[in-house]
Amino acid sequence: MKIKLSPRLEVIASCVAGVKSMADIGTDHGYLPVYLVGNNLVSRAIASDTNQQPLKKAEIIISEQQLEKQIETRLGSGLSVLKPGEVDAVVMAGMGGLLIRDLLEAQPDVARQKKKLVLQPMNNQAVLRKYLAASGFRIIREELAREGDRVYEIIVAEPGTMTFTNPLEYELGFEFYLYKHPLLIALIERKIFLEQQIVRSTRAKTTVVAAKQFQESSLFIEKLNEVKRCLSN
């Protein structure tokens, strides 16, 4: 049985391809390493999760595909399951941006190897990009993937330095103006939609925190609309 990946995981797989070995941190179902090894896109993989249950799911599918010799499973948190330099690429996908940041920060010796990091934060993407810029990483590729009305951001980074010239790059992707991804407008529309929800929920509230949030989100929507207009012209 060949694994059919979702559009999000397909894009993540395309960002990993080109290396010999990879680790999927927070693998859950294990689809990504199974797909990569099963299609000879990498020769060796480590599938890891902090929870026993998901790792069991991954073990079942690895065994069904008879890939036990090439895919090793490891139970543990974040990059603690890896030795520095053990694999050529590390994926952390489907987790919150703050968790991904904390897991990178917790194991700097592993994170800062001259290796490829493929990160797909579900939220707090801007916080993660800021962390990467401030912590000796550079973004070498940005990708987007759409599933239904969601647009996922995939960040590929390696050790190095980078300079953000526009604060909106933290939100929309490093050098997004140059990049002009076909899904960039869809990403902006999604972010506007999410900010509008915040505006609606904070509009009638009287607390200082809510008023600040209302202002910030309203301003952010204006900026996003401006970028959208520029990109559409």
Rule CB under 6 A: which residues touch ligand SAM? Answer: 25-28, 49-51, 54, 77-78, 93-95, 103
CB of 56 to ligand SAM, least distance (A): 11
In the complex with ligand SAM, which residue's Cβ is closer, 54 or 97?
54
In the complex with ligand SAM, which residue's Cβ is closer, 82 or 132?
82
Helices 125-134 and 97-106 meet at what angle, rounded to 10? 30
Spatial CA neighbour of 33 closest among 7, 65, 56 = 65
In the complex with ligand SAM, which residue's Cβ is closer, 26 or 38?
26
CB of 173 to ligand SAM, least distance (A): 19
CB of 54 to ligand SAM, least distance (A): 4
In the complex with ligand SAM, which residue's Cβ is closer, 52 or 165?
52
Q: What count of residues does the chain have?
A: 233
Spatial CA neighbour of 153 closest among 169, 174, 173 = 173
Written in H, E and C, the secondary structure of 95-106 is ECHHHHHHHHHH
CB of 211 to ligand SAM, least distance (A): 34
CB of 220 to ligand SAM, least distance (A): 26
In the complex with ligand SAM, which residue's Cβ is closer, 54 or 173?
54
Contacts of 15 (CB under 8 A, 6+ apart): 116, 118, 141, 143, 154, 156
CA atoms within 13 A on the CB side of 205: 14
Spatial CA neighbour of 7 closest among 125, 133, 145, 119 = 145
